Structures are given as C-alpha cells and as structure tokens.
Chains A and B, each alone.
Chain A
C-alpha cells in the first residue's frame, strides 16, 4: 500500500461530503499478542494510525505515555510494532499510518526504517518530534519508497511556516487542534477553526485534526473544518482502564462506533 491509498481516501471522503475517522492505537498494547484483537475491535475506521511506542514521548500526554510504557514492557520492539501495523493493513484493507518519534527512526536509519514500513504495507509516516526544519532525510527516505510524509501545523505556527509546510507536499497536514500534548479535554481552546482557515487559504492538501479530540461531539465539531479526525487517548484509555480483555474490546468497539457515527 502506498501514499496513493491515503490520497484516494481523502478524495473519496471529500466526494461523499464527510470526514474520515483515523483512530490511533499504540502497537503492542496491552501486549503484542493481544494487539491484533485490539485493532480488530475498532469500528468505523477509514484508516489507522499505529503508534510505535517510544520511551520519552514529548508530544504525548499521560495516557499515551502510559500505553507506550506498557507496550514496551510487554516486549514491543520496532519490528514487532511494524509487524502489528502490517497485520492491521492486511486484515482491514485500510491505509495504515505509522506514528513514532525521531530517535526510533534514526537508530535504524531513515532508509531502512522506510523500507521496513513499506514492506509491511504502510501508507504514511508521522514523526511527533520532527518539524519541517529537520524532516528532510526522513521525508526523502519515506517518499522514495512510495509512502507519504505527514507534517504538523500548530495553532502557534506562523504564516511563513504554514506556507513552507504545505509546500513540502505532505500526504496530509496534521492540524494540532489544541495547544498542548495529546490527551482528553473537556473544554476546547477554539484553535481548530482558525487553524483550518489558515491551512485552507494556502492549499487544498488534506487536513486532519488531532490532539484533544475524544468525544463524538468534539469529533463532530471538526466536520466542517477537516478532511479527517484523529482520536487517540480516548481509545487508548479504554484499553488501559478495562479490568479484562473482553471489556476492553467491547468498550473500544462502542467508543469507536460512536465517534465514527458522529463523523457521518
């Protein structure tokens, strides 16, 4: 699968006048053996964001940080994480986006990492601590094997940087809907609308909103603003908080279905 799968997805959702649902889940949560069932329980996804856990996740709040620590402790390595991502791509037939941190990629080397991601059938790569200023080598490696690079735009990003980011040909722009790290929020800071306006004014590159979106209502609020919505912490918490696997899978199905429905 390549970046084209994602481009087709965004073209389709635009034609259908809806917003895509891109659930995030940490690979290897609660352990690598159960991970395929966890991804399998998520309903209504248009594409999956698969997090390769990292020990020091600067962009993530406590929920995803805890999930990463649990997955690492349970023996999730880069190769196992990518294997899980490949399984998701194969069993669901949906595009898979790999999310991780720069050091994980640099340690194996951008070319080898991109090759491995392509081999398992991923479509794109998100690197949480990689601004456009440092993206060059990783973006080049990822695009050389036909995958797409995702770049971030935040509420604090100035016009010069927004222009630079959309011009770098990301497969989609990850719009940071709230100031801060990933996690659930009761109140919205109201940044998303302005952010959407600013990106749309400069480009028709697909815009996907993430960070601080956890309820069906919050997801629904993004419909007029974005081509897609990423929900992570609310799904991850369903797994972390559940007393047993069956409950986790049932809660995950319920929450994801509600959010997917809110986007249709």
Chain B
C-alpha cells in the first residue's frame, strides 16, 4: 500500500522512526510541524514550484534515447535530472529545505555529502537564501570528488573533511549529525537523501516526487513497462518511484554491487543487508552479527553507503519495487555506453541504472524502460580517467 505519509511514529510499516539523541528530538518535532504546515499551505507549495521553474530549470527534459535503444533492442527513455541546476536531482530537495528553513528562523545549513552533488546543492541553496553553510565530507570522497569540493568552496561553503571510519558518506553523516547535536539551536541539518530520523525520509521524498510527477505528464498518457533508478540512500529513486506506485509499472532500484556481492565489498543494503538502526531510522543496512556497521564499497561516492531509506525497505518487503545490483565494472562500462551512444556522460551513480538495463536487455527486449538519469558525470570524469589510465 502506498503511504502518503509515514504513521504517527514516523514509520513506513516496520521501518523508519526516530533513533536519535534526546537533544535532537525537539528539533525533529519542530521540523515535522514546520514541514506539515508549509506543505499544506498552497502559497508555500507555489513558492517551491516557482523556484523549481525559475531557478532550478524544471521541468527537466525526458526523451527517448534513440541510439542506445537501438543498440539494446528496447526503448530507453531518459529522465534528465542531470540537466537540473547544479547537475543532479539533489537541488530539488536542497531548495525545498532551504525554503523551509526560512519559515523556521534558523541561520545556518549543514549537510553531509558523498559524491558532492548534495553538498553543491546545499551550498547553492545557502547562497541563494543567504544562510551560513558547512558541508561534511569523507576524506576519501574529497579526494575522488575534487571538482565538487572546489564548487562548494566557490559557493561560500566550508567543506569539513571527515577522517573517521572509511572517510566516506557514512562517516560524513555521523559527523554532520554530531554537529547538529552541538548546534541545534541555530542550525538546520539538510539531510540529502530519504534517510535519517523522521521526518527527513518523508520530507526528502516529498521534495523529490516532482521527478516522477513530471515524468508521467511528459509521457502524455502512455506508460513505460519498467522504471529504473539507482539507489544509495535512495532519494532519486524515491522521487521517481513514488508517483508510479499506483500504476501498472515495474519499479527497479539498482544498488551498488561494488566488487561483487560475494566479495563483501559492495553497497547493496537491501540485496545483502538486514534490518537494523542506522543514522536515526530502522532500515536495511550492512552490519555484522554484533550490530556493528560494515563499511560499504562502491566506485561511486554517492552509492558508498551501508544503508538505504526506510521507505525503500518497506517497498522491498511489500514487493512494491525490486532491488538489484550491478558491479563497479558494469557501471563504468555503462558510462562509456551512454557517452558513446547518446553524447551524455552520466554520473557513475546513474550509470548503475543504465548498466542494469544493458545487462538485462534480453529479458527487457521490446519493452519500454524509463531510466532516471539522476546526475551528470562531470564530477566523475577525473576519477574515471584515472581508473582508465588516461591521467
């Protein structure tokens, strides 16, 4: 059953909730009230959509990828979130939360970022709304996403390297949450995916569902057979899937298979994880027998996360969407495939969705497949060139 909003405890079925230090609980209550009020206020919703149109560049285009379709023997439609301002769907949520913060009277945004797209989007929103901004980023991700680090700094944000753990998205999230505990009186934590304690998974999905809503309008009355999106925390997939849940369409989320599920070096939280509590909510996650979090691995900084949004956990258990994975190597091949057939260099995250379609082309033959191209690959070009030995 499609849940318009989580229940009173912030649950999507067995998932979600609020597992956070007591210091944050009033801020979560305040955020829930503020969002509830704003989202039911037509004037706020109008301001949000006006911003998306005038500043973000929505609607993003949607088109049939002709040469790719021909090569794969099926019809591939691309939803071009890579063409949104700042280069990924993350801006939809960052502008929405930025607008909301104006209603709450806080003066500073903090955020976590992996691939940097959410960091850039948050820094952009902070500049637009005139707020202070600090972005937490794992040191490994700072290295592989240098371009986005420069962009954030140009936008006036402080980028704070996180050295704990594996120096990736999980550790940046821990540090941002700890910083929020310290400065909750004047700071809003702009969570970048459909993760975290309630109400974040709900808020982020609501700000991202514009992707699926637009897509349905752009299809003009026809429906694809399958809708595909990559899943790290899962915000682009949640935004794309949600409006399609009531329709006769198969939904497929593609997780990071890393070096292969069998190697243990991957980010497939649903495919190879189990339910637990991570970053404030109950959800599928990678953990050992003692409940210690296992580091994720992905060539893609944005998918290098050992958990997933609680609503995806609910979708998976209910059979409302299915979750597959592709390896690093398959994703990198898909970057080449899309670049050479369509003239589009996708983010490695988004290439995971393309890779699954390419791998499954035999079973998808003759079908129409809609892929959410969640972000552009400029940020990954240096990393890809290094992997390919071109730098």
Contacts and interface: CB of A to CB of B under 8 A. Distances in A.
A104 B276 CA distance: 9
A76 to B, nearest CB: 9
A133 B25 contact: yes
A50 interface: no
B19 A54 contact: no
B185 interface: yes
A209 interface: no
Contacts of B184: 156, 179
A129 B290 contact: no
Contacts of A133: 9, 17-18, 25
Contact of B278 (A56, A57, A179, A180): A56
A160 to B, nearest CB: 10
A108 interface: yes
Interface size range on A against B = 35 or more
A102 interface: yes
Nearest to A108: B291
Interface stretch (A38-46, A58-66, A141-149, A223-231): A58-66
Given A103-B276, A133-B18, A179 B289 contact: no
Contacts of B182: 179-181
Contacts of B9: 133-134
Interface-centre pick from A130, A134, A161, A181 (highest chain B CB count, 10 A): A134
A176 interface: yes
A181 B178 contact: yes
B291 A58 contact: no
13 contacts: A58-B177, A58-B279, A59-B21, A105-B291, A106-B276, A133-B17, A134-B19, A156-B22, A157-B25, A161-B26, A176-B22, A179-B182, A179-B183
B335 to A, nearest CB: 31
Interface-centre pick from B23, B174, B293 (highest chain A CB count, 10 A): B23
Contact of B21 (A58, A69, A105, A107): A58
B20 interface: yes
Interface string A150-164: 011111111001000
Given A131-B20, A133-B25, A58 B276 contact: no
B46 interface: no
Given A55-B165, A131-B25, A181-B181, A102 B289 contact: no
B26 A158 contact: yes
Contacts of A105: 291
A55 B23 contact: no
B277 interface: yes
A198 to B, nearest CB: 13
Contact of B25 (A54, A72, A128, A161): A161
Nearest to A113: B291
Contact of B18 (A77, A134, A179): A134
Given A103-B277, A181-B178, A152 B21 contact: yes
A161 B29 CA distance: 11
Contacts of A131: 18-22, 25
B222 interface: no
A219 interface: no
Contacts of B183: 179
B20 A58 contact: yes
A107 B289 contact: yes
A104 B184 CA distance: 26
List the 8 shortest-distance A-B pairs measured between CB atoms, nearest first.
Answer: A107-B291, A152-B22, A180-B182, A154-B23, A103-B277, A104-B291, A55-B292, A103-B291
B44 to A, nearest CB: 25
Nearest to A60: B178
Interface in B273-295: 276-280, 282, 287, 289-293
Contacts of B289: 107
A85 interface: no
A78 interface: yes
A158 B30 CA distance: 11
A212 B277 CA distance: 26
B164 interface: yes
Interface in B126-174: 164-165, 170, 174
Contacts of A57: 174
B27 interface: yes
Given A78-B291, A129-B280, A181-B182, A65 B164 contact: yes
Contact of A129 (B164, B185, B277): B277
A262 B121 CA distance: 50
A117 to B, nearest CB: 15
Contacts of A156: 22-27, 184-185
A58 B178 contact: yes
Contacts of B17: 133-134
Contacts of A102: 19, 277
Interface in B174-230: 174, 177-178, 181-185
A56 B178 CA distance: 11
A38 B295 CA distance: 30
A60 B159 CA distance: 22
